Structure 1
Amino acid sequence: MTLEKPGEPIELVYFLKSGVGSTVAFSKNGRRIETGLFGYDGMSGTAAVLQTGHASHKTFMQVAGEGMVIEPSRLQDLMEQSPSFQDHLLRYVQAMMTQTSQTALSNGQAKLEERLARWLLMCHDRISGNEMDLTHEFLSIMLGVRRAGVTVGTHILEGKGLIRAKRGKIILLDREGLEAEAQDSYGTPEAEYTRLIGFHPTNSETSRAGV
């Protein structure tokens, strides 16, 4: 399900209760890469918070879920009525900017398996349980690589006993091991979110799934 289209007005702002939303940047020649994701910890429509009105990138649901919606004009009315609400949303925008910056650093400097580990941890933070419905196509968008690169990355993590990959599904086996694999690619945006919002989205399962 598409939530926002690049260059078009934002019709609705989505506050997720479950599932994972993905924001993807596109080039004119068809290149694409994920620049950020959010779940119950966040929202779509950050451009509406900044009152610019139009989306810069495509945002869609990567993992199915439920949520609540509000029209941008109504959201802006509420922000005018409540400065504390506006401050809260602006802090969220700052947290997402940190996530996007860390994504750029990770994509430019980290090894493929580190980047894959980071994205899987970020998705795991925002779902219930240890099974993630992620196809190789979505993973290739997340990492900005061809599907063959996704296969290499998943095989590396599987070989270390960190995940199990099935058709259209990734099962997390060792959360702590995956964090070690991600190294410093994971953690900075999460710490900034905690500082700004007051908590960090955390999967309720234990770090060792034992599947």
Structure 2
Amino acid sequence: MTNTNNHLIQMLPRQDRLNLLSICKPVALDISEILCEPGAPTRYVYFPTEGFISLVARTDNSPGVEVGMIGREGMLGAQLVLGVVTAPLRALVQGQGTALRASTAAFKSELASSAAFQRILDRYLYVLMAQMATSVACLRSHAIGPRLARWLLMTQDRADSDGFRVTQEFLAYMLGVRRVGITNAAGILQRSGLIEYRRGNIKVLDRSGLEAEACSCYAIDQKIYAKLL
């Protein structure tokens, strides 16, 4: 049976949902897999059902920084709703899992035939834009510790687990900071009893404590999503 554990798909009326599922194929999301590059044509859209994807903005002088995260609450390829085929960001699989994949042509045809699908994705596109704007402001305004706590909460939400694997190098890459900053911030969270971090494996021990430590950006994202979707 096809795993339909994606919130956007679940929101659709039954017939619209069945029509969308008929053009989708279940695929694996392999960790570190690059699904698209900025400036490249979008060949497929992805609706994650397990696992999650990082949206990374890149410049000539740096490997990039994460500006968004997509799990089963969303989709990759939302710019197609605006009629834009070109991918704006690198999409990197951060959490291994599965997704429902459809070709760009089939997706656009289904979108054109379903007013309900269009309304849902219009709202999701706004949510995604708001998340990116919040991430950019967070990068500039907040200290590493609260930003790390926010990132861990976002990851836990999409991993659907208290534990997940991530290296300090990868965290530094995602948050756009030096590795020593991650080491210090993770150490503080661990000594406070909020997380356990050993050899690249992180376990959230105190969810409410981590929420209190995180910057306000996490709660802002949650409220926007809950209000619109």
Scaled by the length of structure 2, what TM-score is found? 0.83
Residue in structure 2 matched with residue 58 of structure 1 by the alignment: 90
Q: 1:10 aligns with which of 32, 39, 42?
A: 42
CA displacement at 1:137 relative to structure 2: 2.2
Correspondence 1:129 to 2:199: no
> Aligned partners of 1:136, 1:112: CA distance in 2, in Å?
13
CA displacement at 1:183 relative to structure 2: 3.6
Correspondence 1:114 to 2:137: no
Q: Which has the higher strand share?
A: 2
Q: Over residues 101-159 of structure 1, what are the superposed CA-to-partner deviations in whole Å (9 max), with x where a residue is unaligned?
A: 11112111111100000010011111222001212122112210121211111111111
Secondary structure class of the residue paired with 1:65: strand
Q: Is the contact between residue 16 and residue 66 of structure 1 (CA under 8 Å) also seen in structure 2?
A: yes
Secondary structure class of the residue paired with 1:73: helix
> Aligned partners of 2:61, 2:218: CA distance in 1, in Å?
30
Q: Is the contact between residue 110 and residue 185 of structure 1 (CA under 8 Å) also seen in structure 2?
A: no
> Aligned partners of 1:21, 1:191: CA distance in 2, in Å?
21
Q: Is the contact between residue 3 and residue 44 of structure 1 (CA under 8 Å) also seen in structure 2?
A: no
Q: 1:48 aligns with which of 71, 75, 80?
A: 80
Unaligned runs of 5+ in 2: 1-32
Unaligned runs of 5+ in 1: 198-211
Q: Is the contact between residue 19 and residue 127 of structure 1 (CA under 8 Å) also seen in structure 2?
A: yes
The AA in structure 2 aligned to 1:142 is: M
Q: Is the contact between residue 19 and residue 62 of structure 1 (CA under 8 Å) also seen in structure 2?
A: yes
Correspondence 1:19 to 2:51: yes
CA displacement at 1:168 relative to structure 2: 2.2
Residue in structure 2 matched with residue 207 of structure 1 by the alignment: none
Q: Over residues 70-103 of structure 1, what are the superposed CA-to-partner deviations in whole Å (9 max), with x where a residue is unaligned?
A: 0111111111101110110111111011111111
CA displacement at 1:30 relative to structure 2: 2.5
Q: 2:226 aligns with which of 194, 197, 201?
A: 194
> Aligned partners of 2:228, 2:169: CA distance in 1, in Å?
33
Q: 2:116 aligns with which of 70, 81, 84?
A: 84
Pairwise CA RMSD:
1.1
CA displacement at 1:21 relative to structure 2: 0.5
Residue in structure 2 matched with residue 203 of structure 1 by the alignment: none
Q: Over residues 155-193 of structure 1, what are the superposed CA-to-partner deviations in whole Å (9 max), with x where a residue is unaligned?
A: 111111111112222110100000000141311111111
Aligned residue pairs: how many? 197
> Aligned partners of 1:33, 1:96: CA distance in 2, in Å?
16
Secondary structure class of the residue paired with 1:61: strand
> Aligned partners of 1:137, 1:71: CA distance in 2, in Å?
34
Secondary structure class of the residue paired with 2:156: helix
Tell me whether 118-127 or 46-55 shows the greater mean CA deviation: 46-55
Residue in structure 2 matched with residue 147 of structure 1 by the alignment: 179
Scaled by the length of structure 1, what TM-score is found? 0.90
Identity %: 37
Correspondence 1:32 to 2:37: no
Secondary structure class of the residue paired with 1:164: strand
Q: 1:175 aligns with which of 207, 211, 220?
A: 207
> Aligned partners of 1:141, 1:91: CA distance in 2, in Å?
29
